[in-house]
Amino acid sequence: MTRIVIAPLPPMDRARQVADALAEYVEGADLKAGDRLPAERELMTALGVGRSTIREVMRHFQALGVIEARKGSGTYLLRPISRRTVHMPLSLETANLRDALLLTLQVRRGLECEASMVAARMRSEADLTVIEARLEDMERAHHAHGAAGPEDLAFHLAVYDATHNPLFRQLLEQMRETFERFWSHPFERFDFARRSFPFHRTLFNAIVAQDPEAARTETLNILEIVEEDIKEMSR
């Protein structure tokens, strides 16, 4: 077996460095769509990182539609990548958190309203099981701590996945750093958007009922509260 030549990484942002190194390997080896990537253990050894870091990068690449994991076979390239193409984050550079959140909210409103409507039309029973599990995680966190940032994000990601359109998840992955400001207690307020909590259950109910207009309405209810809290808490 040909030895993979990828230099070990210094202790910095491991996931980003692994993504860069793997993209460079794909480009340098001139891999094409359909080619098999090195196994997880090979990458761990070559890069000097743990399994969790490799898996984090692979999940990111899968969300971007770059690779495909085939059970019992390995991981395969779906399209060629390089450092120039694999990191194309859509970011918003502004020192004012209020303005950044409001501008990003305009994009969220368009994406999430459409995603919820498509999910209501396209969801499967398996999708409903996942969305409900994420919702229950969110509800438990909310009742225990009064906040549910990561769980809230996981719920919305499950709705995106229920569209069966990978572009929704890919867009969110490209904007993740900007979007995550909504789930990281902006303005140092753990009660940010807390009033939107009940509408996540009614959004789920609309998706269960396959009612796109109701799903859109419930999504708008959530985001209206988010906008109100941005304006109120940033005064």
188: CATH? 1.20.120.530
pLDDT at 218: 98
> How many domains is the chain built from?
2
146 domain residue, yes or no: yes
Domain coverage including residue 161:
97-233
Residue 1 in any domain: the answer is no
78 and 107 co-located in one domain: no
Choose one of 55, 86, 117: the last residue of a domain: 86
With bands split at pLDDT 50, 70 and 90, how would you rate the model's confidence at 227?
Answer: very high
Provide the pLDDT for residue 134.
96
pLDDT at 3: 67
Model pLDDT, residue 91: 56
129 in the same domain as 63: no
Give the pLDDT score at 178: 78
**What is the per-residue pLDDT for 85?**
64
- For residues 105 and 218, membership in a common domain is answered with yes
196 and 128 belong to one structural domain: yes
Q: What local confidence, expressed as pLDDT, does residue 45 receive?
A: 92
- How confident is the model over 9-26, as a mean pLDDT? 77
Same domain, 72 and 101: no
**Interval 67-98: pLDDT, tens:** 889 988 999 998 877 766 665 555 565 668 89
The predicted pLDDT at position 5 comes to 65
Answer yes or no: do 81 and 104 share one domain: no
With bands split at pLDDT 50, 70 and 90, how would you rate the model's confidence at 2?
low
**Is residue 67 domain-shared with residue 159, that is, in the same domain?**
no
* Span 214-226, pLDDT tens digits: 999 999 999 999 9
**141-196 per-position pLDDT tens digit:** 998 888 788 899 899 999 999 999 988 887 887 777 778 888 888 998 989 999 99
Per DSSP, what are the bridge partners of residue 36?
76
Task: Express each pLDDT in 91-144 by its tens digit.
Answer: 565 668 899 899 999 999 999 999 999 999 999 999 999 999 999 999 999 988
- State which of 30, 55, 86 marks the end of a domain: 86
What pLDDT is stored for residue 64 in this prediction?
73
| 3 part of a folded domain | no
> Would you say residue 165 lies in a domain?
yes
* Judgement on whether residues 82 and 111 belong to the same structural domain of the protein: no
Residues 227 and 115 in one domain: yes
Evaluate whether residue 6 is within a structural domain.
Answer: no
Query: What pLDDT does residue 93 have?
Result: 59
What is the value of pTM for the model shown?
0.67
Of 86, 121, 140, the last residue of a domain is: 86
CATH number at residue 49: 1.10.10.10
pLDDT at 59 over 90: no
Whether residues 150 and 208 fall in one domain = yes
User: Do 114 and 195 belong to one domain?
Assistant: yes
* pLDDT for residue 52 is more than 70: yes
